[in-house]
Every structure is written in structure tokens, then in C-alpha cells.
Amino acid sequence: MLLHIPRILTQDELTHCRRVLDAADWIDGKVTAGDQSAKAKVNLQVPQTSDTGRELGTLVLRALARNDLFTSAALPLRVFPPLFNRYDTGMYFDAHVDNAIRPDPESGFRIRTDVSSTLFLTDPDEYDGGELVIADTYGTHEVKLPAGDLVLYPATSLHSVRRITRGSRWASFFWTQSMVKDDGCRAILHEFDRSIITARQALGDGNPAILGLTATYHNLVRRWSEL
């Protein structure tokens, strides 16, 4: 499932992120890549354990926690502390698949990367190139979203970032271990959840059909989830 989630960040949060990142110290992005991916990766990152990385990572996590669409689509069990990267002119990331397991260097815990997310922090008119290119069963998708918007997609997907030819592209990126490991099952549950919300608005919460659909949704989550 590939999903565009608009307005994850408020304008005030976005402005704060941009201001803090503008003063940040950036390092080579290869520090979080595996051996194979590092050879394909040319970008910059904020050090994960820096004060800037921790502060802005907490801001992003709080924004995700209040977003019902992210919760419905990802069904998060654990979210890896958000990271921050930038692609300046000439930078790129060739096709790769994200590592299956990610260890957090501070806490020591490990997560299985079921879902990848990119939260855009610069608007499309601020740079040329830089499209996130995601390959899935239905073809290749180019993603370039407004600042504050997020794209969510399976971490199993082959993806890349096109070379920047003008300007600078800033983003936050992170992975989620879902309560439901199978992407197909997550997609069914997300569509089911959205349909229930639409039906509730039309029929009301007390309608017997709504109660039955809600019970079935939760029973499917119970059957498919791994905690």
C-alpha cells in the first residue's frame, strides 16, 4: 500500500523544523546505510544522537500520534526514531531496499521495518529533481509532495531518490514495525477502517450494521496482529 497523508505537520511545526535544520550540522548520509546501499547513497543527514535529531524526532513522533490516517494505515507497534536528510544539487540515492531490521543506537532495541515513511520538509518548487521513485506491483510511482505531507509505503519496495539538479530537498524519514506484518492485510484493514468511518457518518454509531462491521474489523486485527 502506498499512501499520501497530507498535513502531518502544522505550519508552526514545519517552520520550527526548517529553522532548526538550517542551523544544524550535517554529516555524510552513508552512516545509516547498509554496505550495499552506502555505495548508492549520496546525501547528508543530521546525526541521529544529536540534540537536533532528538528534538525534531520527538516533534515528528508527536505529530504522527495525533494523525488518525497514519495510525489506520501503519497500525504501528514501534516507530524508529525519525531521521532527517537533505539532498543538495548533484545528490541522489540509487535504487535500494531498506534493511529488514533496524537497531536504535541509543536504546538498543531493534525493529522490523514493515513500513517506510518520508515526510517532506521542503516544497516541490524549492528544488528540481529529487523525486522519490517507488516500484510496486502496479508499476513505478514518482512522489514529490508539499512540505508537511508524508508518503507511506511498504519497506519491501525498491525505491530511489532522483538526482537533484537545482536547490535542496529536506525530509524526515523513518520506519514502522506494524502490529500487522503483511502489507496486504494492512491494506485490507485500512480500507475497512475508512469504510466504517464513512458508514458511521451516514448511519450513526448505534446502527446494528455499524456495530457488526466494527466488531469484524477488530476481530481481524486480533487474528492478524503480532505483539
Instruction: Provide the mean pLDDT of the chain.
Output: 95
CATH 2.60.120.620 residue ranges for the chain: 3-178
The annotation status of 98 as a binding-site residue, yes or no, is yes
> d(Cα 59, Cα 42) in Å, to the nearest integer?
26
> d(Cα 220, Cα 190) in Å, to the nearest integer?
11
The annotation status of 112 as a binding-site residue, yes or no, is no
| pLDDT score at 43 | 96
Residues 2-54 pLDDT 10s: 999 999 999 999 999 999 999 999 999 887 766 666 678 999 999 988 999 99
Q: Is the model's pLDDT at 123 over the cut of 90?
A: yes
> d(Cα 43, Cα 10) in Å, to the nearest integer?
26
Q: Quick one: pLDDT band at residue 225, thresholds 50, 70, 90?
A: very high
Give rounded-to-5 percent helix, strand, coil for the chain: 35, 30, 35
Tell the CATH superfamily of the 3-178 domain: q2cbj1_9rhob like domain (2.60.120.620)
| Cell reading at 88 | 543538495
Share of the chain above pLDDT 90, in %: 89
CA 36 vs. chain centroid, Å, equals 22
The annotation status of 96 as a binding-site residue, yes or no, is yes
The annotation status of 190 as a binding-site residue, yes or no, is no
pTM of the model: 0.94
